[in-house]
Amino acid sequence: MDTPKSQPVQYSLFQHSLCDTAADAEKYSNTIELYDAMPKYFASRQVMAAAREGGKYLPILRREFEHRGEAYTVEITPARYVDRQDREMEYYPGPQEELVEEALKKIACDRLNGIFLNDSAGVQFTMYELRQELKRRGHGMHLHALIRSLTICRRAQVAIRKRGGDGRKVYMDSSIFPTLVIAGRDDWQQDPKQTRCYVQFNRLITHSIQKLTYRQFNYETFMRLRHPLSRWLCKRLSHHYTQASLIEPFHIRLSTIVRDSCLANARTLRHNTAHVRAVLEELREHDVLLDFRETPQTGKRRRMEDALYLLTPHPRFVDEVKKANKRQQNNPSPAARLK
């Protein structure tokens, strides 16, 4: 499939990483302001299975979160998918879909693959190329599982609304991939390395590319993380911890993590605390954090009601943040781009 291409200057900037060597560019991708903060992925397949009515159908999922002091509501309408055994079932986007989307965003950073079509950002790829990228990052998938994930990203609807009474409103209702073109099986079998597929990214990604509100982050580290909550917190730190230093720890509460990620869903505070500790340990193992400290927040009768975490960044993460800051400073301002 040959798709007519355009290449605005904003997309060229999106595809350019600030790194020490050309080989280091493989480590980096982009995290998208607001879009990546949306809690649009469902972490547990077991909980999802238990929620299906008649073993098939899922309700619309409603979540509330905050981003940079603004309150939002997100609604996720599940995707209906018919498998190879002709079984019909609904799915929320989950960790597998998250990894597929991230791999495609990384592939889009290649100037031969990332394109603008009808003023929307997208990517051309082969199924072979996508499977190899996932495998290389430790997330190999069978072809039918990959097609299911792509289809779920196309059919699941994500609607976001800003809450509040100030008269301003943000509303977006779209799928993760508004357009998906998959070549036929016969084409793959005849020429798996050349048969092209196409995905259009969510409109919020296009908006972020046009407004230069994305940030460079370490995609290589992100793809190594096992816990979905680890990946969420890695991106949150990449966006919010722009002043990262060894003498300025990052502060975040357990209640904030629970509310904004929707990925710490244990019934008890004790189990959520244990989950977050495991996530912070994983971030320490992968040189995102140097150390962390947990301070319980108690209420009446000295009962624990929350916890405050002080996160000390690893020097490697501090270096990544400095690169991302410098890259943003080097990008032309919106006014300069109009000249």
Instruction: Check whether residue 164 and residue 302 sit in a common domain.
Output: no
265 assigned to some structural domain? yes
In whole angstroms, give the CA distance from residue 18 to residue 121.
21
Phi and psi angles of residue 8, each rounded to the nearest 5 degrees, phi first? -60, 160
pLDDT score recorded for residue 337: 41
CATH assignment at residue 303 = 1.10.10
165-179, 239-253, 256-270: range with lowest mean pLDDT: 165-179
Instruction: Check whether residue 80 and residue 176 sit in a common domain.
Output: yes
Instruction: Check whether residue 205 and residue 82 sit in a common domain.
Output: yes
223 assigned to some structural domain? no
Instruction: Check whether residue 206 and residue 77 sit in a common domain.
Output: yes
Of the two residues 30 and 330, the one the predictor is more confident about is 30
Instruction: Check whether residue 39 and residue 136 sit in a common domain.
Output: yes
Q: Would you state the structure tokens that stand for residue 320, as one six-digit string?
A: 């990544």
How open is the CA angle 10-14-17, to the nearest 5 degrees? 135
Last residue of a domain, one of 156, 186, 214: 214
Instruction: Check whether residue 258 and residue 177 sit in a common domain.
Output: no
12 confidence band (pLDDT: 50, 70, 90): confident
Eight-class DSSP state of 71: E
Largest distance between two CA atoms of the chain = 70
2 assigned to some structural domain? no
333 assigned to some structural domain? no
Q: Position 285: which residue type?
A: E
140, 134 contact by CB (below 8 A): yes
How open is the CA angle 192-195-198, to the nearest 5 degrees? 125
Query: CA end-to-end span of the chain, whole Å?
Result: 35
Mean pLDDT for 141-154 is 95
Please name every residue paired with 216 in a beta bridge, in sequence order, or none if there are none. Answer: 30
Q: Would you state the structure tokens that stand for residue 31, as one six-digit string?
A: 């995290």
9-13, 61-65, 158-162, 180-184: range with lowest mean pLDDT: 9-13
pLDDT score recorded for residue 336: 39
Range of the domain at 176: 31-214
Mean pLDDT of the chain: 90
pLDDT score recorded for residue 168: 57
pLDDT score recorded for residue 183: 81
In whole angstroms, give the CA distance from residue 235 to residue 241.
10
Question: How many independent structural domains does the chain possess?
Answer: 2
Residues above pLDDT 90, as percent of the chain? 70
Q: Would you state the structure tokens that stand for residue 243, as one six-digit string?
A: 């002043």
87, 81 contact by CB (below 8 A): no
182 assigned to some structural domain? yes
Please name every residue paired with 64 in a beta bridge, in sequence order, or none if there are none. Answer: 73
Nearest C-alpha neighbor of 78 from the set 188, 158, 189: 158
Q: In Å, what is the CA distance from 103 to each residue of 123, 134, 240, 265?
A: 11, 7, 23, 26
Q: What digits encode the pLDDT tens for the residues 37-89?
A: 999 999 999 999 999 999 999 999 999 999 999 999 999 999 999 988 899 99
Residue 147 has, within 13 A of its CA and on its CB side, a CA count of 13
